Structure 1
């Protein structure tokens, strides 16, 4: 099969499969296996393209997960011991200045994420760990207590090193390990297209994690964001898929060759 034929198969079968299979269109809230015809059709197309059905069978679950599954596993609020809120985008500092040494403005998306945390906290009062852009709103707008702000790293010369999603998860994991009762189960709050990876990254740091069931995550992009990849959905989804592939690549290499 030619490469253009593979693209044609996906272009013609994906919309039909999604329309015929609501479970695919709306994700797997319970964390079950993908249903419907789409993975099967993907396997047929890729096996023909690669001329290797075994390798295609290995790859299709990853292709489906990264490219077609955007919902994270959820759990009821009563199962959660604390919340982790991951930031998304920002706005350039109002006064300008060197962006390597001047913190940006948190921006409207992080305000929406803070509002989501506040709604959840009204239902269940548990500790919150929030990336600093969200923590600012939780403290100033919502006057929320029991909030730990995950701050960027500022070097002695004033240079700011911003934490990645994994960097935030690592700091929360370290803080929770110091508690007498152990880490506990996290409820993860994140931007709609980011929250799946937030849950995965939190779990990769050894924390049992779910998105809180029944709460919608913010999903409106900010065209004025200081991070270009967070201004538009098409750009962000490519960015997020690239990040998922990078993590998966390392996991697969480590699993195949644990001794290097």
Structure 2
């Protein structure tokens, strides 16, 4: 993830509202609905805004699904470590995320799409059948940053090319990132028919690597600020895509 890419275009969530499984209501949802109704006079738009904010902003943790329901896994990296020459290496957080993937695979063998930092750790541990998701490069050979949405799309496009559509994706990521990872997969439901869920009973790492090469992943305050910015942008895109009342 990268702060400047958190505002990158993501597919609108409007189509999801009609077709994807409904998200669990947030305890504060009724209060937000009442506030929007009071501020906007009980209009239909007030309800749309409240529902969008509840889904994208209030619900920070992803819905879960039992391992038996997962058809594939998408593992999202979190930070990295930079060598003296600027070369990026996976770092301890992505090693921890790779361990979560290992635990899941011991319980259920499913295809795994892993962002390169996680895939490389798994390969070093002898797990070579992970579908590695790596950044693209521009015409000058410069690496194009791989965003959260980019990882999700690469995984979904690969599955579609293999003739697979729909199903539940097990989302592996940092605890504070996993919610947006699942939301991003859900945002592609209209095109790919899939949903993102955290594996039930499988704890996700919640600590922060203060030596991460990505400054916004070094502490909770920095990341949650960046993550909220991304969620707000996603909410705005959803509202803009809604048809006029």
Q: TM-score range by the shorter chain?
A: 0.7 to 0.9
Q: Are 1:72 and 2:59 matched, yes or no?
A: no
Structure 1 residue matching 2:114: 3-state secondary structure: strand
- Partner residue, 1:248: 235
For the 8 Å contact 2:57–2:232, the answer to whether it is kept is no
Q: CA deviation at 1:146?
A: 1.7
Q: List alignment gaps of at least 5 residues for structure 2.
A: 1-21
- Partner residue, 2:162: 179
- Partner residue, 1:115: 99
Alpha-carbon distance between aligned partners in 1 of 2:201 and 2:128, rounded to the nearest angstrom? 23
Alpha-carbon distance between aligned partners in 2 of 1:87 and 1:213, rounded to the nearest angstrom? 19
For the 8 Å contact 1:66–1:241, the answer to whether it is kept is no
Which of 210, 216, 220 is the matching residue for 2:197? 210
Q: CA deviation at 1:149?
A: 0.6
User: TM-score by structure 2 length?
Assistant: 0.79
1:201-228 deviations in Å (ceiling 9; x for gaps) = 1122232321111111111111111222
Larger gyration radius, structure 1 or structure 2: 1
- Partner residue, 1:128: 112
1:94-147 deviations in Å (ceiling 9; x for gaps) = 1324xxxxx41211111111110011011111111000011111110x211320
Which of 24, 27, 44 is the matching residue for 1:32? 24
RMSD: 2.5
Residues 182 and 67 of structure 1, relative CA distance in 2, 3 Å threshold: closer
Residues 40 and 255 of structure 1, relative CA distance in 2, 3 Å threshold: closer
Residues 170 and 138 of structure 1, relative CA distance in 2, 3 Å threshold: same
Higher relative contact order (CA 8 A, sep 6+): 2
User: TM-score by structure 1 length?
Assistant: 0.75
For the 8 Å contact 1:173–1:183, the answer to whether it is kept is no
Residues 47 and 115 of structure 1, relative CA distance in 2, 3 Å threshold: same
Matched length: 219
Q: CA deviation at 1:46?
A: 6.0
Alpha-carbon distance between aligned partners in 1 of 2:56 and 2:166, rounded to the nearest angstrom? 28
| Stretch of structure 1 that moved more, 66-75 or 178-187 | 178-187
Structure 1 residue matching 2:242: 3-state secondary structure: helix
Residues 232 and 74 of structure 1, relative CA distance in 2, 3 Å threshold: same
